[in-house]
Amino acid sequence: MNRIARPLPSASRRVDEITGSRRLRRMRKADWSRRLVQETRLTVDDLIWPVFVVEGENRHEEVAAMPGVTRLSVDLLAREAERAAKLGIPAIATFPKVELALKDQTGSEILNPDNLINRATRAIKEAVPEIGVITDGALDPFTSHGHDGILREGIIVNDETVAQVAQAAVLQAAAGADIIAPSDMMDGRIGAIRDALDAAGFQDVAIMSYATKFASAFYGPYREAIGTQGLLKGDKKTYYLDHANTDEAMREIEQDLAEGADMVMVKPGLPYLDIIRRAKDEFAMPTFAYQVSGEYAMIEAAAKNGWLDGEKAMLESLAAFKRAGCDGVLTYFAPRVAALLRG
């Protein structure tokens, strides 16, 4: 008996037998359907704008290593805060470029109630009371050696630095800061700041902990922006986290939350998306990332050379933070992104 040869199934039929009626591309075929099923959304509410402030009036200085970023005098910064508020940006994080004559071994200028950072906070709050102001209690803008703490015989002393940072936090809160974000990575600083704020009547001032701040190569342009790039003696590996460690990062977060941190930050951002995801999964606390100066500069430099589409890279990089679990991002792109998102 002759058997009738059956035709082999076509490639498309074989695929259909494997996938059944599933066609994942169906929802990608049009802009409206892609928008309908988009899982991660970036909004203006996700943005915190880091800004640099300098002495003087009507002063505007370009930061060479960060195209498009400027240092502003207090009067101009207050105007920019108004612009940020109109764009819907929730908060500004301020960083001072302190005059060299005011720097010393202990960073004592941070304890001046009328120092640059505190004057900037007062000016912003007077101009735009509704915008959040985040200040950093670290000493590196104020020290003559560029370290985040007090230097004694070649060692960054922990407890003396913590005491000074806690005093500075109270002064920053008194000037109007809504969130204190100490980036110095000294042990015990969160608890000391919380106690100092509460004792001074600032129970409602929050603490954003730079709980996982890594010893990174991506901070270079920032150090130019605050004027410490030529001052730093040695490196910061004795107090910043080793970039190879994740378990240690989780222990830092756990400790800071136990001491009273209201939210945590991962810094830098894109090279540490795994840390962000793990932090959010393990602690379920408000989690932020800092898209640092080196990350910003790389995108800007590549865009300037025509190697990539800067606008698309900017938005894609920020979406990555949201996808990893961030509740918000500190980014120098903030006003540009806000303007795009608002159309």
Active site residues: 213, 267
Close Cβ partners of 319 (under 8 Å, ≥ 6 residues apart): 40, 42
Close Cβ partners of 148 (under 8 Å, ≥ 6 residues apart): 138, 139, 140, 156, 161, 183, 184, 185, 186, 236, 239
Running DSSP on this structure, what letter comes out for residue 56? S
Q: Can you read off the two tokens belonging to residue 41?
A: 């959304």
Q: Can you read off the two tokens belonging to residue 227?
A: 């004027």
Which helix (H) or strand (E) segment holds residue 335: the answer is helix 334-341
Q: Can you read off the two tokens belonging to residue 42?
A: 């970036």
Helix (H), strand (E) counts: the chain: 12, 12
Running DSSP on this structure, what letter comes out for residue 214? B
Locus of tokens 């001072």: 96
Locus of tokens 């602690």: 283
Contact (Cβ atoms closer than 8 angstroms) between residue 96 and residue 55 = no
